[in-house]
Structure 1
Amino acid sequence: MDFINNDFANKLQTELDKLTNLPLVSVVIPMYNAAKYLPACLESVLTQTYKNLEIICVDDGSPDNCADIVSSYNDERIKLVKQANRGLAGARNTGIRHANGEFVALLDADDIWFPEKIDAHISHLIANPSIGVSYSGSQFINEEGVDMGIGQYPKNDNIEADEIFCRNPVGNGSAPVLRWEVLKAIKFFRPEQGHTDAMYFDESFRQSEDVECWLRITLSTEWKFEGVNKVLTYYRVNGGGLSANWPKQLAAWERSVENNRGINPEFIAKWEALARAYQYRYLARRAIQSRDARSAKMLSALALKADSGILLRDFSRTAVTLACTLLLSILPKPQYEALERRAMAIAA
């Protein structure tokens, strides 16, 4: 019996040693009116195959019971931070400032991770010291958590600065895991605006703050972006959320360009038209998902007007977007939705 106990103890110690030697990952979860989705989000972190985590949940002045939900979990890895509402960028900044990890993983409170996500990213980053931002593909789910059969399946390697600007391969705010060194390299202060703490995401943005940040990283540092060739995130498409309000999203994107123009004006001038075409096309696709045929038609036309070369550079996705825009206007909803699922899968 002693032999069995000793053998078990030795195995347990070996596993604990492995855990201790793994780098700490800080998971930052901003929370605002997300109580409906938060339990599934938290469970997806707590069940990660990678265990050396701290989970920083930032209550961004949320009017619902997000904080109570977090407090109900008996797990010492979970930390609750409360603040007055400052928006997604402000909540992320607060979470990052509380982070102790060598790596920082971002997760929005309405999204969900696959169990092996952090394991895959940390292996990727450790094996590739020049990579500062590791991301993954994402599968779209609707507000009820049902898989929509479409997603974001980005290019993963040999990512150049123009691809960050034009295509945003990171995709969404729940896809990336970053080295702390990257965030340290881009931090800034704005005391004249009353911000005395370090910022990483620009808190003047209420949309496109991640797009602005990725562009700033690629233009002002030597860190590389690279993806893990797996779908590891469930991204929730919320019809009533920020992503559905395309005029505001477009205005925020325009501001993100202006914010970074001074870093490298020649780069922005060279790629701005094509980047704008891709942005219009992206918004057209979101309009299609919202079944807004009029907006989809206008945005598709603007994409071609900004840079018609988008049709040749990315024929399948652009052609599918144009086809869906047309069919959305003329087909009954059931027929259209069946065709859309097939078309989007082909052009993923």
Structure 2
Amino acid sequence: MEAGTVNMPLVSVCMPAYNAAHYIEEALASLFRQSYKNIEVIVVNDGSTDGTGEILSNIDHPAVKVFHTANNGQCAAANVAYSHSTGRLIKFMDADDLISDQFIEEQVKRIGGREDVIASAGWGRFYNNDPATFTLYTDSVKGDTKPIDWLVTSLQTNSAMMQCARWLIPRAILERSGVWDERLSLINDLEFFIRVMLHASEIRFTHNAVLYYRSGLPSSLSSLKSRKGAESAFHSIDDGMAYILQHENSARTRLVAANCYQNYIFTFYPYHSDLLATSQQKIKELGGSTLKLHAGGLTLFFQKLIGWKLTKLIKLPFS
């Protein structure tokens, strides 16, 4: 692929893939349908065991480069893909998501040749592998803003969506911020995108670009019980909040940080008591949290009656 001009720069889509045999062809098809044609797609098969490697080996498309590695995790695979990319603009994308047909074109327009701005996009969820179930989410930030303002607004109720395909990032920013932290697994995108955003001067929202986020994939409580996952999530939050507070230590950023630690407690309780205690101590040092456990129906009723901790303990056998 050609590097392109300032107006038509090469866009590199970096896609880690692990056991994505049921989804990856759809994800690639959404890239092949893009109205913007100056793209390269670098897919790294991260030691899949389900046939993903065979599917990728049979793809014959001039824009696609495929690499096979041992299973080293999503962050390592994303970094391998990035190391083989040559574009001036970079998009990381999961192997099970889809993007609208004008997504990349519209984001390239929003960046407008700048090396210091990141383009974001709208997003929504679909379930049971059926795009007909798609619902567009109403973003809390739908305009152009400074990165710290985007983070404060999006994180204050812990509603920030960091899904990687939402963003188009100039390579120049990634060269300053650094790439994915390979120590992390669970919620690794939080640390990464906070760090990357704070190396930009502006986040520009792209109204005509939509990410279709595949939700409801088979999962279990095992990731919450896993010590590795819990430690990854904690360190991602801890590092991300440190970046924010280093950039701006104010009442609003301290509250955002406290609410993120509180959400960690809500998510992982009653497991990993040491990490929960550390999070509670950080909340105290930051001045307290205003975040309430999101609940509805019977859960909300019991939460009001007996408190969120007992409610979670009662629900555990049914989770």
TM-score (ref. length: structure 2): 0.73
2:135 aligns with one of 145, 149, 172: 149
Q: Rate the CA distance shift 1:306–1:85 in 2: closer, same or farther, 3 A.
A: farther
1:167 aligns with one of 148, 154, 166: 154
Opposite residue 180 of structure 1, the aligned amino acid is R
Alignment of 1:81-230 (within 5 A): 81-126=67-112, 129=114, 131-146=116-131, 147-149=133-135, 151=137, 153-156=139-142, 157-161=144-148, 163-164=150-151, 167=154, 169=160, 171-187=162-178, 200-219=179-198, 221-230=199-208
Looking at secondary structure, tell me which structure has more helix per residue.
1
Are 2:48 and 1:62 aligned?
yes
Return the offset for 1:134.
1.2
Counterpart CA distance in 1 for 2:37 and 2:83 is 21
Gaps of 5+ in 2: 272-279, 304-319
Return the offset for 1:263.
8.2
Counterpart CA distance in 2 for 1:136 and 1:99 is 22
Return the offset for 1:275.
3.3
Aligned to 1:255, the other structure's residue is in SS state helix
Counterpart CA distance in 2 for 1:125 and 1:242 is 39
Return the offset for 1:226.
2.5
**Cα-to-partner distance string for 1:63-87 (whole Å, 9 max, x where unaligned):** 1221221232221111001111111
Which residue does the alignment assign to 1:78? Answer: 64
Return the offset for 1:49.
0.5
Identical amino acids, percent of aligned pairs: 21
Greater mean alpha carbon deviation, residues 146-155 or residues 130-139: 146-155
Q: Rate the CA distance shift 1:37–1:205 in 2: closer, same or farther, 3 A.
A: same
1:236 aligns with one of 214, 235, 245: 214
Are 2:268 and 1:277 aligned?
no
Opposite residue 161 of structure 1, the aligned amino acid is I
2:239 aligns with one of 252, 259, 284: 259
The answer as to whether partners of 2:194 and 2:243 remain within 8 angstroms in 1 is: no
Return the offset for 1:228.
1.1
Give the root-mean-square deviation of aligned CA atoms: 3.8
The answer as to whether partners of 2:122 and 2:166 remain within 8 angstroms in 1 is: yes
Counterpart CA distance in 1 for 2:137 and 2:261 is 17
Gaps of 5+ in 1: 1-15, 188-199, 288-293, 296-301, 312-317, 331-348
Alignment of 1:268-347 (within 5 A): 270=251, 271-277=253-259, 307-308=289-290, 321-323=294-296, 326=299
Opposite residue 234 of structure 1, the aligned amino acid is Y
Aligned to 2:112, the other structure's residue is in SS state helix
Which residue does the alignment assign to 1:48? Answer: 34
The answer as to whether partners of 1:166 and 1:278 remain within 8 angstroms in 2 is: no
Return the offset for 1:143.
3.5
**Cα-to-partner distance string for 1:75-134 (whole Å, 9 max, x where unaligned):** 11110011111111111101111000011111100101111110011111116x264321
Return the offset for 1:306.
5.0
Q: Rate the CA distance shift 1:273–1:67 in 2: closer, same or farther, 3 A.
A: same
Counterpart CA distance in 2 for 1:41 and 1:329 is 41
Counterpart CA distance in 2 for 1:28 and 1:145 is 24
Counterpart CA distance in 2 for 1:148 and 1:64 is 27
Number of residues of Structure 1 aligned to a counterpart in Structure 2: 278
Aligned to 2:101, the other structure's residue is in SS state coil
